[in-house]
Amino acid sequence: MPDRTNSPDATSLETPRLLLRRWRSEDLDGLAAINAQPGVMRYIHDGHTLDRAATAERLARYRRHWDEHGFGLYAVEVKQTGELAGFTGLAVPTFLPEILPAVEIGWRLGSAYWGRGLATEAARAVVAHAGAELGLRRLVSIHVVGNEASARVMIKLGMSLERETEQPDTGRRVRVYTMEL
């Protein structure tokens, strides 16, 4: 059974509809299917989809992040069906050095899960955990200009636009939102 404690090293969180948990090996195919969706990936990094091998590398990176930082991206599982909807969680945004040190809250859901409030529901649980259990005092969130769906989630979380800048490795314009916890 997954750990659902409120300790700082909790490896899962629950919401009314979702289980946010650590990654499992069997999540690779579901995450690869999400990362292969052009609509999902158009605002991620350089906008290209990821194949299964690239997704496996990312999944390994997500696991290492947990080991190195004691927090990370949670697999988001729909309780009613057990399906992997995507991820939500915390990461260090090394891709945007100008805002470091910082902890970013982020999410990615497969298109079948859009428009249901799941990203906001999952992110609220992560924000609460970040402040109450991890002792973080500030979070950032970053979206590529044009990704208004992510901007809406950021605003629902109570975040405010801090700046617009350029992501160095892609040249894409991004907006950085922040919130104090």
pLDDT value at residue 10 = 63
- pLDDT for position 11: 82
Q: pLDDT for 2-21, tens place per residue?
A: 333 333 446 899 999 999 99
| pLDDT per residue as tens digits for the range 85-124 | 999 999 999 999 999 999 999 999 999 999 999 999 999 9
DSSP labels, 40-60: HHTTSTTS----HHHHHHHHH
Range of the domain at 89: 12-180
The arithmetic mean of pLDDT across residues 121-147, rounded, is 97
The pTM (predicted TM-score) of the whole model is 0.92
Residue 83 lies in a domain: yes
What CATH number is attached to the domain comprising 88?
Answer: 3.40.630.30
- Exposed, middle or buried: residue 93 (CB in 10 Å: 0-12, 13-18, 19+)? buried
Is residue 97 in a domain?
yes
> What are the phi and psi torsion angles at 28 (to 5°)?
-55, -50
